[in-house]
Structure formats: C-alpha cells, structure tokens
Amino acid sequence: MQDRLLSAVGGLDHFSGNWSWRSHSPRQRAESAIREAVESIGDGVAALAERDATAEQVEEWTAKAINLWIAYQAAGARTANPMITGPANFPVARNNKAMATERKRGEEYYAFAHRPIAWLDRQARRAEKAALSAEAATVEHRSIDFPGVKLVQNTTLDRIQLLFDGKPEAEVIAKLKGEAFRWSPRESAWQRKNTNNGVQAAYRLLRFLGHGKAS
C-alpha cells in the first residue's frame, strides 16, 4: 500500500513539496501522512475482507479511498502558514478559502475511509436494485400513453412512474418534485412509491400538463 500511495503522489520527494509552505519539516510531514493513510486504508481493506468482500470490491473501494486521499492532500498543498512564508503580504482571505477546501476534502476522505462496511452495504443495495430493475424491464406493466409522457404503474419496483419524451421544463420539474416524484437515472423516469396517493399525484401532474384522456 505504501508503494502504491507513493507512486500516486509522484514519490516522497515530490510529495514533500505539499508542506513547503506549511512546515519547517516537510519531509517528515509527508512521511507521516503516508503512514497514516497506509494504516487507515489498510484497516478498511481488512474490514472488507472480514465481510467476505470480493477482490473486485476491495479494489474498487481502495481506488476510491486513494483518490479521495489524493484530493485531500492536493487541497492541503494549496494552503500556507505565515510562520513559514512570512507575514508580509500574506493572502489571508485566499488562504482561509484554501483551508476550508482542505477541511472539506479531509472530511470526505475520512468519512469514506472509516466506513468501508457502509460502502459495502450500499454496493449490495445497488446490486439488488439493478437486478430488480432488470427484472422489471422484462415485465409488461400497466401503462397509459399521453402526448409527450407515459404513465406506468411499475408493480415490480412498486413505483408509479412518469416517462417523458425529453427533459421536462423547469416548471414541470418543480411540480414533479412538489408531488414527491424523484428522478431515477436507472429507470429514466420520474417516480414515487406506488400508493393511492402516488397515483393521485401522477394524475394531478397529468392534468397540470393538460392531459385528460389517454391517447
């Protein structure tokens, strides 16, 4: 893991430059950051292995963790310490903005690296949804066609769906969201849970669109 991280940042000498504006000991800081990442990511890999994650899943998680860590380190490299650079003409506002970005990237990295099992569980849910979506595509569900939009009662997914010929206008999207419909990239549909309220909401939207009877 250490060799992989060092390769990702261009080697220790290059990586040490990240602290040239922040520390009197940039090389030691670089070495410390590498050690911390090796331990943190290594712990995540071990946790995934204990949950019998596949080699492909472990690699996918590791690659994302490394990318988030690199983004965190790159953001930190854009910050400075006036004790190192000197206070004269120090860009306080710009540095504060850079430090805020570094904090955000750090939070993203640690939130991901410290919760590998949550990531694995999300992957499992996505796989289940993808399988269910594939199954739904083989079923002929009750549907009604209107000009420019189709109403589908997808019982396999337990969703009431509106499929538009193209992207709806902003006003229509606002109405969809107001009726608790959400866009599903996987289904290419605006949908909500298939309940009586959901069906009624769909018909309210169709009336808003000027549709009365099916074509």
Using one digit for the tens of pLDDT, what is the confidence trace for 182-204? 999 989 999 999 999 999 999 99
pLDDT at residue 214 is higher than 70: no
The pLDDT > 90 percentage for the chain reads 83
Domain boundaries, the chain: 2-129, 139-208
pLDDT at residue 14 is higher than 50: yes
Between CA 61 and CA 44 the distance in angstroms is 9
pTM for this model (two decimals): 0.69
Distances 145 to 38, 165, 202, 204 between C-alpha atoms, Å: 56, 11, 13, 15
pLDDT at 213: 52
Residues 165-171 have a mean pLDDT of 94
- 119's tokens: 């990531």
Q: Is the dihedral of CA 52, 55, 60, 64 positive or negative?
A: positive
Tens digit of each residue's pLDDT (9 = 90 or more) over 129-152: 888 888 777 878 889 999 999 999
Nearest to 160, CA basis, from 148, 172, 142: 142
Beta strands at 159-164 and 189-193: parallel, antiparallel or unpaired: antiparallel
Tens digit of each residue's pLDDT (9 = 90 or more) over 34-86: 999 999 999 999 999 999 999 999 999 999 999 999 999 999 999 999 988 88
pLDDT at 212: 66
pLDDT at residue 215 is higher than 50: no
Instruction: Report helix angle 26-50 to 55-77, nearest 10.
Output: 160
Between CA 34 and CA 154 the distance in angstroms is 50
pLDDT at 140: 83
Residues 96-108 have a mean pLDDT of 96
In this structure, what is the dihedral angle of CA atoms 110, 113, 117, 119, given to the nearest 10 degrees?
Answer: 90
Name the β-bridge partners of 154. Answer: 159
pLDDT at 86: 87
Between CA 172 and CA 191 the distance in angstroms is 14
The domain 139-208 having CATH identifier 2.60.120: the answer here is no
Q: Which residue has the tokens 């337990």?
A: 158
pLDDT at 126: 85
